[in-house]
Homo-oligomer: A and B are copies of this chain.
Amino acid sequence: MLDRIPNKEDIVRAAELIKQYINRTPVLTSATFNKRYHSEIYFKCENFQKVGAFKSRGAVHAVVNISEPDRKNGVCTHSSGNHAQALARAAGLFGIPAYIVMPENSPRVKIEAVRNYGGIITFCKPNLEARETTLKKVQEQTGAIEVHPYDNYDIIAGQATAAMELLEEVSDLELVLCPVGGGGLLAGTALAVHSFSLNKAKVIACEPDGADDAFRSFHKGEIVPSISPHTIADGLLTSLGKRNFPIIQEYVQDIVTVSDESIIEAMRLIYERMKIVIEPSSAVPFATVTTRKIDISGKKTGIILSGGNVDLKQLPF
C-alpha cells in the first residue's frame, strides 16, 4: 500500500498492475464540437471502463496492493455508487468478499450493479455520519480492510492512469478538464499531467455550483466540508479528502463551477452528438466549455468523461 503521494513511477507501476483487469478506454472526438469551440477536444471515455466508470482503476489497484494475508477477510467501503461497484468487482477478481455500505437512497441501477458484482450491501441513512458508523460496525464484524473511495494513495495512483493513457495518445494537450467530487480522479489526473504532459498542460477542476466545496476549499486554502450539497451530478456530492487536497492545491491551476442546468444541457449534447451514454457528473467539465466559463479556443483540450452509470428511466432532459 502506498503511504505517500504517488510519483511518476508509482503511476506507471499502477498502470502495469491493473492493465489486465481494466479496459484501455477509447479517446473520442467530435468534428461538430471542435468546429463550434474552435479547439480540438479529446474525450477520454471512462464510461466505457469496466463497471462503467474510472473507479475500476483505483479499486483494482487498491486491492492488488493489499498483501494477500491482509486482504483475506475482504475489503469494505462506503460509497454512493460507482466505487461500490468497482470495489465489489475488484474483490471478486481476487476471490475475496467486498462489504459495501450504501445510502438507502442510492439509484436502483447502482444497487443492482453492486449486487451483480457480488458485493454484500449494508444500507444506511444518506449522510456521512451514518455511513462511517455503519462501516465501522461492518469492519468490526468482518475484519475487512477499508478501501476509501478517494482518500487513499493507491486509489489516487489508480485513477491517475486514465490521464496517463490520454497523454500517451495526445501528448501535446494544453488543457485537461476534470470533474471533482472527493478528489480521487482529480488528484490522480493532476499528478499524471504533472508527470507525463510534454506541454505542462494546465489542469482545471470542474464542479457543480450546488456542491462547490472544492472551489471554496481551493480559494480558502483549507478543506471546507460539503454541507447539504444539491446537484444532478450525484457522483460529486462528497467533500475533498485530506490526502487529495494538498495534491490539488499544488497541481491544479483552477476550479470552475457550473449550474445544473448547464450540466444537463452539456450531457444532452454529448448524447446527441457523440452518441454515448454518460452520467451527469461526466458532463460537468464539458459544461464549463459550453457555457464559455473556460475559453478553450485554440487549445488542445482533454476532458475526462468519468462514467456512464445513469438511471436511463430518469434522464434529466
Contact = CB atoms under 8 A, between A and B. Distances in A.
Copies in the complex: 2
A312 B275 CA distance: 11
Interface string A270-282: 0110011110000
A47 B275 contact: yes
A313 B272 CA distance: 11
A262 to B, nearest CB: 17
A171 to B, nearest CB: 22
Interface in A282-317: 308, 312-313, 315, 317
A42 interface: no
A173 to B, nearest CB: 22
Given A272-B312, A275-B278, 5 more contacts: A109-B272, A271-B277, A271-B312, A275-B277, A276-B277
A48 B275 contact: yes
Nearest to A268: B312
Interface of A: 26, 47-48, 52, 109, 268, 271-272, 275-278, 308, 312-313, 315, 317
A108 to B, nearest CB: 12
A87 B130 CA distance: 58
Contacts of A276: 275-277
CB-CB nearest 5 A-B residue pairs: A275-B308, A275-B277, A47-B275, A271-B277, A271-B312
A108 B313 CA distance: 21
Contacts of A109: 272
A316 B13 CA distance: 45
Nearest to A308: B275
A264 B292 CA distance: 37
A313 B308 contact: no
B312 A312 contact: no
Contact of A317 (B268, B272, B313, B317): B313
Nearest to A52: B275
A21 B277 CA distance: 26
Contacts of A271: 277, 312
Contacts of A26: 26
Nearest to A23: B31
Contacts of A277: 271-272, 275-277
A275 B47 CA distance: 7
Contacts of A275: 47-48, 52, 276-278, 308
Contacts of A47: 275
A277 B317 CA distance: 14
A46 to B, nearest CB: 10
A95 B202 CA distance: 40
Between A48, A268, A275, A278, the greatest number of chain B beta carbons within 10 A of the residue's beta carbon is seen for: A275
A275 B53 CA distance: 11
A317 B308 contact: no
